[in-house]
Amino acid sequence: MKEINITTSFTIFDNLKELPEEIQDLMNQAVDIRKKAYAPYSKFRVGTALLLDNGKIVLGSNQENAAYPSGLCAERVAIFHAGSVYPEAKIVKMAITAASDTNPTTAPIPPCGSCRQSIAEYEIKQDTPIEIYFMGEIGEVYKSSSLKNLLPLMFDKKFL
């Protein structure tokens, strides 16, 4: 029997104001789009802003559906939109924020498993890491230098 240890690391900012100005702007756009999420069932709103290497910013918010699981998370809305409108562009940075209509979210909320897999697909496709910043409604912001940091044992095309 063998054992492996996998280590990940994050940079933690105490609040939005500690972020570099470019990332503050990106996160503020994620906050704005989060407020427009369609979340009548979960009451949990998520907003995402992507910075592409062509300078464009692509936004996404979660879109729920009574015929669960037909809805889509904010991260995938933004990623798939970027992939369809700017197929040659690379995703450089991603800002994610989440808030509940029923209780405050003060802890950083990372992407769900399905979103991690979707982000992984694009990180592998573009062969460059995507910086990911995530937060709750208020409080600390976590920075991951890449998706691989959040999902170290990624499933990708090499397994197919």
Binding residues for Zn(2+): 73, 112, 115
> Phi and psi dihedrals of 112, rounded to 5?
-70, 175
Catalytic residue annotation:
75
Q: Please report, in range form, the residues annotated as the binding site for substrate.
A: 62-68
